[in-house]
């Protein structure tokens, strides 16, 4: 198999001829389970590849089309037969668009979306900014967490443009993060890395917001957790589980349901 730069295998299956590709923005230590956890229970004959974002800093100025070009050009060059495309949360829009592109050179793959959401001011505030602030709660005071939440809410009310809003979220995270990082004695370069990672994630979400949901949803299935405010309603077939959003990809019963959807 040729060296991959925008994808990496996440299961023990060495098959690189027939694959499932998964689209998500993963990072070490995030609270939500990722596709690597799902792969442990999936028991599929296909190889499973996970999308990789650009190296932190390289994403500057990238659009949604740029991300798609990066991922799909390598997929096509690999010669692999893409049997299915999985997308998680805000990455679901990318998954739909990748499937449409893959269909231009092979049979259209099945698409399975897990808690699909649109990248909007509301969802980025609640599932992006609030979560990175809450991850610092152990070293911040209750007042500091509350003030950071209030600042984020004020920013969301003030800025209608998502790109402008996410830049403000990065500024606020740098501000509140500097307090937390100093208290735990984190080196300045490591603190900068965390802020740069968050900035990279914000760019990714802005890029996702630039894409539209495909009109043809034939072959698309949706796996949903317990109620998730801001969920993207796309009218596809659905399977629902009484599971928290953060644990959706880690549950064996979810993997079992997904197996039944695969070609």
Q: Are the CB atoms for 50 and 24 separated by under 8 Å?
A: yes
**According to CATH, what is the number of the domain 7-118+213-259?**
3.40.50.1820
Condensed to tens digits (0 to 9), the pLDDT of residues 51-71 reads: 999 988 899 899 999 999 999
Note the helical H segments in the chain: 35-42, 64-78, 92-102, 121-124, 130-134, 142-158, 162-183, 188-209, 252-259
Question: For residue 215, is pLDDT > 70?
Answer: no
Task: List strands edge to edge, sheet with 110-114.
Answer: 7-9, 47-51, 18-23, 81-88, 110-114, 220-224, 237-240
Q: How far apart are CA 200 and CA 1, in angstroms?
A: 29
Length in residues, the chain: 263
Instruction: Give the distance between the most distant pair of CA atoms in the chain.
Output: 55
Relative to beta strand 7-9, strand 47-51 is antiparallel
The pLDDT of 127-135, averaged and rounded, is 94
Domain ranges of the chain: 7-118+213-259, 121-208
Q: How far apart are CA 262 and CA 21, in angstroms?
A: 12
Question: For residue 38, is pLDDT > 60?
Answer: yes
State the pTM of this model. 0.93
DSSP 171-233: HHHHHHHHHHHHHTT--HHHHHHHHHHHHHHHHHHHHHHTS---S--TTEEEEE-S--TTB--
SS3 at position 33: coil
What per-residue confidence (pLDDT) applies to 2? 63
- Residue 179's nearest CA partner among 155, 203, 143, 154 is 143
What per-residue confidence (pLDDT) applies to 14? 60
* Percent of the chain residues topping a pLDDT of 90: 78
Q: What are phi and psi of 220, to 5 degrees?
A: -105, 130
Condensed to tens digits (0 to 9), the pLDDT of residues 165-201 reads: 999 999 999 999 999 999 999 998 899 999 999 999 9
Q: Which residue has the tokens 């990248």?
A: 119
Q: How far apart are CA 92 and CA 85, in angstroms?
A: 9
């Amino acid at each position: 198999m040729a060296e991959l730069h925008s994808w990496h295998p996440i299961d023990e299956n060495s098959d690189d001829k027939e694959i499932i590709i998964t689209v998500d923005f993963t990072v070490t230590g995030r609270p939500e389970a990722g596709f690597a956890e799902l792969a442990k229970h999936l028991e599929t004959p296909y190889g499973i590849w996970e999308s990789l974002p650009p190296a932190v800093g390289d994403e500057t100025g990238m659009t949604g089309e740029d991300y798609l070009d990066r991922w799909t050009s390598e997929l096509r060059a690999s010669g692999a037969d893409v049997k299915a495309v999985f997308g998680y949360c805000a990455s679901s829009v990318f998954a739909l668009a990748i499937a449409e592109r893959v269909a231009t050179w092979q049979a259209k793959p099945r698409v399975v979306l897990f808690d699909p959401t649109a990248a909007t001011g509301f969802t980025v505030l609640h599932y992006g900014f609030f979560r990175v602030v809450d991850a610092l709660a152990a070293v911040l005071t209750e007042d500091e967490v509350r003030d950071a939440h209030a600042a984020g809410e004020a920013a969301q009310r003030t800025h209608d443009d998502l790109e402008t809003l996410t830049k403000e979220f990065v500024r606020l995270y740098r501000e509140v993060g500097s307090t937390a990082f100093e208290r735990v004695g984190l080196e300045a370069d490591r603190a900068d890395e965390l802020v740069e990672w968050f900035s990279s994630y914000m760019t990714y979400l802005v890029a996702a917001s630039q894409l539209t949901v495909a009109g043809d949803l034939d072959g698309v299935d949706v796996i949903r957790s317990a109620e998730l405010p801001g969920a993207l309603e796309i009218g596809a077939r659905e399977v629902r589980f009484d599971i928290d959003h953060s644990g959706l990809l880690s549950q064996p019963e979810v993997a079992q349901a997904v197996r039944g959807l695969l070609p």
